[in-house]
Chains A and B, each alone.
Chain A
């Protein structure tokens, strides 16, 4: 059925109010969303699996509830998608890996369940770097995802499918996970908004673990308000994740309050760090001027130990990944090598066949870092450095309300342009420190870069559990930019 609905052009508020007012049915929204996906996703490849039966079942439930005058939920009829490391009953949850190619989830991740409970329409599962190890989505076993702004470039990663789906107009709200920048960096590359909440704001139950003390689930959307609406549905204590926290904040309540009187921390030594391109620096400087123009006060702060973040991250992350990925033993689920003479051979062949090179590297690195000598040289000191980085942020947030940083050192790169692992790891240089400290951060698009014409972005970081403050600052800053959030090549009618 042809519909006049174009979900790519609609915000969460447009959709929920239009649906509530009877302008369209949830079923029509599902029709429209899959029509868009059919047209565009053959070029983008954001989705690994489409779930029309689940989307239509939810649509029927919503249409019936609306007809009866029953509650329909704050995300009613919002086209949604989930990173493929999130369990959803009856769907494949592959983590972009051959290891889980045939795994079908027997249960729902809490974050997935919360979006659907709030009325979100589950369209499908989104591509990612294998086990979230990467910054480009090139390492997915099921093929790469293209950046909707330039199909020859990466969407970022690891949540590249989630970012590209929003930038391509394929979904209104998508979920990603962020262990070292995996929501914020692809949001920056794809010109959309991506939020990594404070550790503990969103339950991690049912999300395949990478670094358990670093991982956090968060939403992508076209606007700050869309992302805040999604966070309302996602946040809160979950008895199934003992690190999740009570949360009664309405993240949309203060978005209009502006930044007048707010103190915004700037860190010239970081903005001008080696590796950041001129257009990235320019985007940060322009954002600082814009915030000042809106009435914020710029205050220079220092985070002296943040320079060690990347090294600390590449100790802590692999160590935790080594531990988490030991569960892939080929017995209960996951790839199982055939014709093995004994159990050890089955372990070794299954894990060699199931894990790609990068996953093997991180597992083996983590194992090494937890061995006796390396533990004393790297692992324990990295956890001490983590204390210093956390203290830096605590001290900085005594002086300022939010901190302005670049999100990524550069705009989206071409496929294959970064091939060695240590160069790829530099993609995380501005994002990892808040995973280490546990704080929240948001990536906000700031328009085309002066040199590449590709989306640029800035990052606003808050104190722990200051997610409402960064959303408020981002909402104010967002008003300074009149930029499309859906890539023009993907806009309907060849706009």
Chain B
């Protein structure tokens, strides 16, 4: 069943991408066109076939010793942000109408 504009509005909200109503209409069409091309995935008998989430089969998790290593200083860590205060990232209120 194709995605509706309502579905796509929900996806836009979930992915935090603000779309205009025209953009929403076009996006709904585009996503449905793309999803149609994914049909080959549904045509195979996959009973008992394990999934592959990673291309190199015999990798195991690699844990290093929990030893401190040098990292960014505060100035470097904040160098690409648009707004700082007292050595921290500054963001707008999390709840509307609150104080910054």
Contacts and interface: CB of A to CB of B under 8 A. Distances in A.
Contacts of B77: 106, 332
A382 B34 contact: no
A365 interface: yes
Contact of B59 (A103, A243, A347): A243
Nearest to B3: A368
A271 B46 CA distance: 27
Given A330-B82, A340-B92, A364-B27, A386 B8 contact: no
Nearest to B93: A342
Interface residues of B, number: 56
Nearest to B39: A311
Majority-rule SS of A interface residues: helix
B87 interface: no
A360 B17 contact: yes
Interface in A349-378: 349, 351-352, 355, 360-361, 363-365, 367-368, 371, 377-378
Interface in B84-100: 89, 91-98
A312 B11 contact: no
Given A364-B11, A385-B44, A213 B54 contact: yes
A437 B72 CA distance: 36
Interface string B54-77: 111001011010000000100011
**Most chain A CB within a 10 A radius of its CB, from B52, B61, B89:** B52
A330 B90 CA distance: 11
Nearest to B89: A331
A384 interface: yes
A345 interface: yes
Contact of A331 (B8, B72, B81): B81
Nearest to A437: B55
Contacts of A333: 80-81
A352 B17 contact: yes
B97 to A, nearest CB: 8
A341 B92 contact: yes
A248 interface: no
Interface stretch (A46-54, A70-78, A418-426): A418-426
B16 A351 contact: yes
B49 A387 contact: yes
A422 B33 contact: yes
Contacts of B11: 364, 367-368, 371
A104 interface: yes
A308 B38 CA distance: 9
Contacts of B21: none
Nearest to B33: A422
A315 B38 contact: yes
Interface in A268-283: none
Contact of B52 (A103, A377, A390, A422): A390
Interface in A203-228: 213-214
Interface string A74-114: 00000000000000000000000000001110110000000
Contacts of B91: 331, 343, 346
Contacts of A180: none
A314 B37 contact: yes
Nearest to A244: B62
Given A425-B37, A438-B56, A380 B16 contact: no
Contacts of B27: 360-361, 364
Interface of A: 102-104, 106-107, 199-200, 213-214, 239, 242-243, 245, 305, 307-308, 310-312, 314-315, 322, 326, 329-334, 336, 340-349, 351-352, 355, 360-361, 363-365, 367-368, 371, 377-378, 380-388, 390, 420-422, 425, 435-438, 464
9 contacts: A104-B79, A106-B77, A312-B41, A315-B41, A352-B19, A365-B34, A384-B46, A384-B52, A387-B50
Given A308-B43, A367-B11, 19 more contacts: A104-B80, A106-B79, A245-B56, A305-B44, A314-B37, A329-B16, A331-B89, A336-B82, A340-B92, A342-B96, A364-B15, A364-B31, A368-B35, A378-B42, A381-B42, A382-B38, A385-B41, A387-B50, A436-B55
9 nearest A-B pairs in the assembled complex, by CB-CB distance? A438-B55, A383-B51, A348-B18, A333-B80, A336-B82, A347-B16, A311-B40, A352-B18, A242-B62
